Structure 1
Amino acid sequence: MQRFSGKTAVVTGAAGGIGAATALRLASEGATVILADIADAAGQAVVERIVAGGARAAYVHCDVSSPEHWERLRDRTHEIAGPADVVHNNAFIHLPGAAHELTADAWDREISVNLKALYLAARTFLDDLRSTKGCFVATSSVHANFGLPGNPAYAAAKGGICALIRQLAVEYGPDVRFNSVLPGPILTDVWDEVSEEDQRMSARATALDRLGAADEVASAVAFLASADASYITGTELVVDGGWSVKKESK
């Protein structure tokens, strides 16, 4: 399928994990992809993989908590490929700790990277998406719906993403569609420091009895960004192998 032929996609947090998988997926379906991250070497490596496959891509250094970086990302996108048709707001930071132990600086950093960035992304690329009748997909998390110990700022930010996506869908429809994906236990580099035993426990907590892959979340993002989801906006697509329903059944 070439659902994104002739379209321009911007993906943040694209140097690895879900972001890299999404960039590769959109490129494989014809998009010119602008990858944004702060991990420059890793981001450029993903670009090289895309280009080696015959698609177009470029990398832009971007701290998603900075309004100036967002403006530069938009300007570089226009220079390279024109206005954006798709924006995938995916970059995140996770600083675990109980609420009474988390420092105010850590709280502010998580909210800034995980939630403020969504506001900055939507504001910066709104004119593009209006002109292209495009779509915006944000990566939230099942943490938005469930209380899990040690994640107060992360949960607050991810819940805020879902609320803001609903608000943006109402404010800017019918011109632009806004949706979010809520991954569950997805095996990415974040899991490198998790023991095999804890990984198995997480897998058993899903209805499918396994951890998910970044490619599986990328498939959900590509669906929401495509014309196949043309009547879907303001919604949350959970990609967790049944983790949520199994948790609710207890």
Structure 2
Amino acid sequence: MTRTVLITGAAGGIGAATARRMAASGWSVALLDLDDRVDEVAAEIKSAGGRALAFVGDVTSENDWNDALEQVHVGLGPVDALVSNALATDRVALHEMTLASWQRQLDVNLTGTFLGVRACLADLRRDRRGSIVLVSSVHANFGLPAVPAYAATKAGLTGLTRQLATEYGGEVRVNCLLPGPVLTAQWDGISDADRAASAAQTATGRLGQPDEVAAPIEFLLGDQASFITGTTLVVDGGWSITKNSA
């Protein structure tokens, strides 16, 4: 029986790569994003023989979640797995950040995850095989300039992971992924020199690709990870273990 995964932030980057990988492995895929390019990702999956439904919606809207779940149930069946990957970030120091910017990042990154888990939870608990992956960031563990709200929300996701894994232990596995410098739209506008400098800060000497994050997400969602829950997995090419010193 085909299982269904719902992925947010699926119009590009890690979300789209995860959708393609899960579909190629035989999963039905529901894709949710505010960006209407999510339709193109779904069309690509279907043209390759996969099953996919796309929804243009806002993860901060309860109504959009309800509408998406209703359509998923009709088109694909109940949700077996959830990947919460949608994000918002503004690069600005805290003393220059507006309350609206701070709140928007909390709403998308943290409250959007809460709403998604709550919306899908009945499906995920129904056969005691449900699985959730929350996509956080190495920013959860390391201080970097000009991302105070983003870092706070990504750290919040690691705590939420442990709480959910405890709360729903025998029914739903919940794990958290912490990507490092991975080439997504977040790197648009970053100069080649700055990209090279960031790559040099990793043990592997390069930036990652979205599919290199999608692969461990697929593992955590699947039955091979059946005894793994409440963990945080860093996928950063060794960025977080490498420091330079004279």
**TM-score class, shorter:** over 0.9
How many percent identity over aligned positions?
Answer: 49
> What residue number does 1:105 align with?
100
CA deviation after TM superposition for structure 1 residue 148, in Å = 0.5
Residue 114 of structure 2 is matched in structure 1 by 119
Who is 1:54 aligned against?
A: 49
1:164 aligns with 2:160: yes
User: 1:236 aligned to 227, 232, 235, which one?
Assistant: 232
SS of match in other structure, 1:148: coil
Q: Note the alpha carbon deviations across 1:65-92, whole angstroms, 9 max, x for none.
A: 1111111111111111111111100010
Q: 1:228 to 1:103 in 2, by over 3 A?
A: same
* Residue 230 (structure 1) shift: 0.5
Q: CA RMSD in A?
A: 1.3
Question: What is the rounded CA distance, in whole Å, between the counterparts of 1:59 and 1:249 in structure 2?
Answer: 48
Task: With the length of structure 2 as denominator, give the TM-score of the two structures.
Answer: 0.97
Q: How does 1:19-98 map to 2 (within 5 A)?
A: 19-40=15-36, 42-98=37-93
SS in structure 1 of the partner of residue 94 of structure 2:
coil
Matches within 5 A, 1:216-227: 216-227=212-223
Q: Distance in 2 between matches of 1:146 and 1:249?
A: 17
Residue 126 of structure 2: SS of its match in structure 1? helix
The CA deviation at 1:248 is 9.3
Instruction: Give deviations 1:20-70, integer Å, cap 9, x for gaps.
Output: 000000000001101100111x11111111011111101011201111111
Aligned partner of 2:211 in structure 1 is 215
CA distance in 2: counterparts of 1:44 and 1:119, whole angstroms: 24
For 1:70, the aligned partner's letter is W
Query: For 1:162 and 1:248, how far apart are their aligned partners in 2?
Result: 27
Q: CA–CA distance in 1 between the matches of 2:81 and 2:172?
A: 10
Distance 1:72 1:247, change over 3 A: farther
Q: Unpaired runs of 5+ in structure 2?
A: none
Residue in structure 2 matched with residue 151 of structure 1 by the alignment:
147
CA distance in 1 between partners of 2:198 and 2:66 (Å): 39
Structure-2 change in CA distance of 1:248 and 1:223 (3 Å): farther
Change (3 A) 1:164 1:187: same
Q: What amino acid sits opposite 2:169 in the alignment?
A: G
1:92–1:53 Cα change, 3 Å? same
* Aligned mates of 2:181, 2:45 — CA distance in 1: 26
In the superposition, the TM-score normalised over structure 1's length comes to 0.96
The number of residue pairs the alignment matches comes to: 245
Q: Which runs of 4+ in 1 moved over 2 A?
A: 247-250
Tell me which amino acid in the other structure corresponds to 2:144. Answer: L
- Cα deviation 1:133-161 (Å, max 9, x = unaligned): 21000100000000101000000000000
- What is the CA–CA distance in structure 2 between the aligned matches of 1:196 and 1:104, rounded to whole Å? 33
